[in-house]
Amino acid sequence: MIIVLRPDATEEQIGHIKERLEGLGLAVHISRGKERTVLGAIGDERVLQELPLAAFPGVEKVVPILKPYKLASREFHSENTVIHVNGVPIGGKKIQVIAGPCAVENREMLLQIAGEIKKEGVSFIRGGAFKPRTSPYTFQGLGLEGLQYLAEAREKTGLLVVTELMDPRDIEMVYQYTDVIQIGARNMQNFRLLTEVGSYDKPVILKRGLSATVKEFLMSAEYIMSKGNHNVILCERGIRTFETATRNTLDLSAVPVLKQLSHLPVIVDPSHGVGKWDLVTPMARAGVAAGADGILVEVHPDPEKAMSDGEQSLKFPVFKEMMRQIRAIAQVMGREL
């Protein structure tokens, strides 16, 4: 249920409504826009049947949220959400690029990549310390050692760290070393993991599952937000279809669809979307043109020797050219890179 308040509603009136709703066992979330303040009452709405909310001082109207996802819905929060990561915005006019290796392999390689992407104006470095692999016999990541290398790269370059969390038992360790926690596609519906990160204040990149619908994707975001963490960034990374020409089918239509349905920032991962390095730049261009708030891309100094996803990783010159091209498209779109 959404309670839209009058422009002149006082803090006392807002507090009174919030107190009454919480007294009925509902969670109350306050969204303050430029023109209106909105209260979202989340929970069993049957308890509101005998409560004349429209008669409360300061209330303009009461509107039911029709979507099964409440907090992620644009019905609840009409304006685009901008998530600030240590002062760096995701979801505003500036399009952010998050770049780095699929996996943190060693200290020297990671610091080299950090220095190169920093030259291109990138603010975020990504790298997996824990890697979910299809085969149990392939490289699984360096764990704590990898997290420490990421933290050192941040200290030396100022880049903000994005890394994947796979196990709720590792959350304290990952929280300590990272600026943004990534939930991978395979864990999009790991609800225990989602509720765990929802209990922390760290921004979360949530990747769309291999076969997830947009509705299922947004319901997973709702799991995180329902626990109090509203700093969720949605990532389209390709879905599994009958097509075998590319690793996945990058569903770029999901970008404007998600923008219509939700207020959350949306980024695109063309690397996993296509799985071939020479197709990454065209899809990055398309992602920016579709309205994405960021691009998540894999970069490696020597993809032939990469311990994971070398076939979709960009060498430095190719990455530099990709940045030039998407910067031009961002400008056409009235945005910055």
What does the pLDDT look like over 58-105, one tens digit per residue?
Answer: 999 888 777 889 899 998 888 899 999 999 999 999 999 999 999 999
* pLDDT (average), residues 207-216: 97
Sign of CA dihedral 330, 334, 335, 337: positive
In this predicted structure, the answer to whether residue 175 has a pLDDT above a threshold of 70 is yes
In this predicted structure, the answer to whether residue 168 has a pLDDT above a threshold of 80 is yes
Which of 235, 330, 230 lies closest to 285, judged by CA?
Answer: 330
How many angstroms separate the Cα of 50 from the Cα of each of 1, 24, 159, 274, 317? 14, 11, 53, 53, 65
**pLDDT at position 139, please?**
64
* Dist. CA 201–CA 231, nearest whole Å: 8
* Dist. CA 324–CA 229, nearest whole Å: 34
Helix (H) or strand (E) holding 126: strand 124-126
How many angstroms separate the Cα of 283 from the Cα of each of 105, 187, 233, 248? 26, 24, 19, 12
Average pLDDT, the chain: 92
Q: Does this chain's domain 2-63 share its CATH topology with 83-332?
A: no
**pLDDT at position 158, please?**
96
In this predicted structure, the answer to whether residue 256 has a pLDDT above a threshold of 70 is yes
**pLDDT at position 27, please?**
84
What does the pLDDT look like over 118-153, one tens digit per residue?
Answer: 999 999 999 998 866 566 656 667 889 999 999 999
**pLDDT at position 315, please?**
97
Residue type, 320: K
CATH fourth-level superfamily of 2-63:
Phospho-2-dehydro-3-deoxyheptonate aldolase; domain 1 (3.30.70.1140)
Cβ contacts of 103 within 8 Å, gap of 6 or more:
127, 128, 131, 139, 141, 142, 146, 306, 307, 308, 309
Tokens of 79: 């304006």
* pLDDT (average), residues 238-264: 97
Which comes out higher in pLDDT, residue 326 or 42?
326
Q: Please tell us whether the domain made up of 83-332 is placed in CATH 3.20.20.70.
A: yes
Give the highest mean pLDDT range of 32-36, 40-44, 192-196. 192-196
Sign of CA dihedral 273, 274, 275, 279: negative
* Dist. CA 266–CA 258, nearest whole Å: 7
In this predicted structure, the answer to whether residue 195 has a pLDDT above a threshold of 90 is yes
Q: Domain extents for the chain?
A: 2-63, 83-332
* Dist. CA 47–CA 25, nearest whole Å: 9
